[in-house]
Structure 1
Amino acid sequence: MSIPYTGGCQCGEIRYEIHAQPLTLYVCHCRECQKQSSSAFGMSLTVARDAVVIIKGQPKAWTRKADSGREVKNLFCGDCGTRLFHERTYSPDTINVKAGTLDDTTKLRPVGNLWTRSAQTWVKISDQMLNYDGQPDDVHLLWDKWRQQNS
């Protein structure tokens, strides 16, 4: 995939660009990600915060406590409800883009699974990925695995 990455919400009211290579991509199986995605998991593409530019529209926001106990600011389209980004108070220099909102997802390959203890029983967890039963203590291992996979 080439820079800039582009994406947006379902109705097209919000559009964004990413002007740097991602730091990692992982799958989260926590109950909150299951609820927000209306599926078995959510995907988060971590990028430098200043690399994300909203080029159309203005997301709405609400803050919640994650399963880890940390606060997460959720940014979404106020018209169609599509979740676009997660900002984490404990990591202000990065933002998680909800990877399914990218225009081109064909080359995305997650490197890890978080909160596997909450995974749906029918989901197959690959032993080729980094796997955590909860929140990892060090996300840099996910970043390293992403660099190795994409170099």
Structure 2
Amino acid sequence: MSKLNLPLEGGCRCGQVRLKISAPPILTMACHCTGCQKMSASAYSLSAAIPADAFAVIDGEPVIGGLHGATRHYFCPHCKSWMFTRPEGMDWFVNLRPTMLDDASWFSPFIETFTSEKLPWATTAAVHSYETFPPMEAYEGLLQEFAEQAVR
């Protein structure tokens, strides 16, 4: 990964919703689940877990889309870009779609999840792969390993 020059700003495809991050991610991911495939219209979705206090919507008003469940998926109300997710019960971070940032050249997925549902040809540069999500006891080590290798 290349150097991360913070703060970084970004926005949806049409530019009506803008956001800003002021801290590096605590983990980066690619998810191969069929839900992410459908929501991203791609082989997988990309995420950068950003500390919640380092994430801000600075212009516009994103709307909730996707499944409209306890985990909230936020989209631009105009162009419908899937911008970020606030996972249920994990208020301390926001899962940002890193390609919403004006410069995503630093991004590389550190883990990939739901490889049990991946398309046969889909590959990533992830260091760790999981058939579903990593077991809860693995996260501490993953976060520490990512922090040691992370962009700054």
- TM above 0.5, yes or no, is yes
Contact conserved, 1:8 with 1:102, CA < 8 A, in 2? Answer: yes
Contact conserved, 1:112 with 1:129, CA < 8 A, in 2? Answer: yes
Contact conserved, 1:111 with 1:145, CA < 8 A, in 2? Answer: no
Q: Report the alpha carbon displacement of residue 63 of structure 1 after superposing the two structures with TM.
A: 6.3
Which position in structure 2 is the counterpart of 1:101? Answer: 100
How big is each residue's C-alpha offset from its partner over 1:67-112, in whole Å with a ceiling of 9 and x where there is no partner?
Answer: xxxx410111000000111001121111100111111111112111
1:146 maps to a residue whose letter is: F
DSSP-derived class of the 1:86 partner: strand
2:34 maps to a residue whose letter is: R
DSSP-derived class of the 2:148 partner: helix
90 and 125 in structure 1: CA distance in 2 versus 1, 3 angstrom threshold: same
Distance between the aligned counterparts of 1:63 and 1:35, measured in 2? Answer: 9
Q: Which runs of 5+ in 1 are unaligned?
A: none
DSSP-derived class of the 2:24 partner: coil
How big is each residue's C-alpha offset from its partner over 1:32-51, in whole Å with a ceiling of 9 and x where there is no partner?
Answer: 11011100000010011121
Alignment of 1:2-151 (within 5 A): 2-62=5-65, 64=67, 71-124=70-123, 129-138=127-136, 139-150=139-150
2:37 maps to a residue whose letter is: Q
- Higher relative strand content: 1
TM-score if structure 2 supplies the norm length?
A: 0.88
Q: Report the alpha carbon displacement of residue 124 of structure 1 after superposing the two structures with TM.
A: 2.9
2:54 maps to a residue whose letter is: A
1:150 maps to a residue whose letter is: A
Contact conserved, 2:39 with 2:66, CA < 8 A, in 1? Answer: no
Contact conserved, 1:73 with 1:86, CA < 8 A, in 2? Answer: yes
What is the percent sequence identity of the aligned residues?
A: 27
Distance between the aligned counterparts of 1:24 and 1:59, measured in 2? Answer: 23
Q: Which runs of 5+ in 2 are unaligned?
A: none
- RMSD across aligned positions (CA): 1.9
DSSP-derived class of the 2:67 partner: strand
